[in-house]
Structure 1
Amino acid sequence: MVQLGELLMILDLHRQGLSVTAIARRTGRDPKTVRKYIERGLELPAYGPRQAGRPNKIVPFVDYLRERVSAFPDLSAVRLTREIRERGYDGAYTAVKRFVAAIRPQEQVRPFEVRFETPAGYQAQIDFARFVTEFTDAPGVTRIVWLFSLVLGHSRYIFARYVMHQDLQTLLRCHMQAFDAIGGVPIEILYDRMKTAVTGEDNEGHIIYNRSLLALAKHFGFQPRACRPYRAKTKGKVERPFRYIREDFFLARSFRNLEDLNEQLRDWLDTVANARLHGTTQRIVSEAFAAEQPELQPLPAVP
């Protein structure tokens, strides 16, 4: 028997023109069940005595969720659950997840990706991602900002900062800020073939790294490693957090300036991203990081 919120969702999808099969796929219900409730229309399900006086908890927030997803289709269900809990929702996350999945525009099925794990302290992955925003201190001016992110492969701990450029000096400075923040240095760092890190290949196909990056690597004691051409997915542990940051943090927020953007990002990393139970490792990220941190190489002494 479907609950009231799910009934509203089925009828809403039907009004949008989705077929019974498509609605069944989105809701996880049998097509016969979906067809039955479409035919029944707004006639409410018959609840037993235990259900009397207990309306579905998500119903008062359906319009808000639909409005948010319509304006920002990529907002995560986790983010939306936090938002409606601030407005009084005390129901389950799974109810929000199912409703949002049903009303979100259909995405193409993503190919299966094989995950790989690395020992504690061994690997970090680094990349830049492009974001576009408008700071409230300068209304009407669209700016491109770059998100530098370092993700520890074992614990999935994220260090991230927004910067105005992705040039070599910014890349090197972000490395040093990241090492200082995590309190150590991994054995190797994986990059895609960003021009600031990789300058090309020699005649035998060996990677040629930027000399300044090699000097930084020698000083801090890590080994740079570039992922294979056209295989940026091997850097998935840093690619996936970019989407996570965009959907759970960046969208539907306003920022006064770059400093405010980074202050809000630091707070979100501390209270949300690095405080969450990671879906793959099934460990709290900050707790896994605390266990991984002693395995990092120590920072070199300041001369």
Structure 2
Amino acid sequence: MKTAVIGEDDAGVITYNAALVALLNHYGAVPRACRPYRAKTKGKIERPFRYIRQDFFLARSFRNIDDINARFDAWRSEVANPRIHATTGRVVDEAFAEELPHLKPLPAVPYSAVLTVERRVSHEGMVSVDGNHYSVPDTTRKRVVEVQNLTSEIRIFEDGALIAAHPVLEGRNRRRVDPAHRKTVPPQRPVPQATGVPRRSLAFYDAVGRRLAEGSRP
């Protein structure tokens, strides 16, 4: 996968994904690629994820990330870890208790992984992220912007500058429009109403004045 291995040269030296290397460096580990199409090694890595996907996620629905974490913790302590492992024949909790003293402690600061993706701005000035829509300012020039999807916040960038920040919406097909992103329409000045009197030249009124003056003489 390109998320792990970028390539391999003729000497067999593997180039790993820089984001993966940064993650492993944070936790004091190094990557080791499995040989392609070798089920003996790849299966050991992939099988636990298949077990979690089928036994925990299948036929369940969740309200939000906190609900997932709480129910996963209960499933792990009540179902997954007390079971007898089909391959080793041992109780998972007991095997983990033996391994625990040999494991390295986690770093004091958690790893901060921020994934930036490109998203297209709609004609309504909205950006779609995980099935929901978030507004960008009317002054946004580009039609493609960068989006960072954090745990509790959506950040939108244009040319590296932050132009919008929204709390993450729960569910799907929801919209959030920041009022500051929309231009206010200035009130229109009232159009003067016509009085019905036609406009005439100054010469016309001068002639009318002379006639009135002549008619007033004795």
- TM-score between the two structures when normalised by the length of structure 2: 0.43
Larger relative helix fraction = 1
- Whichever of the two has the greater Rg, that structure is 2
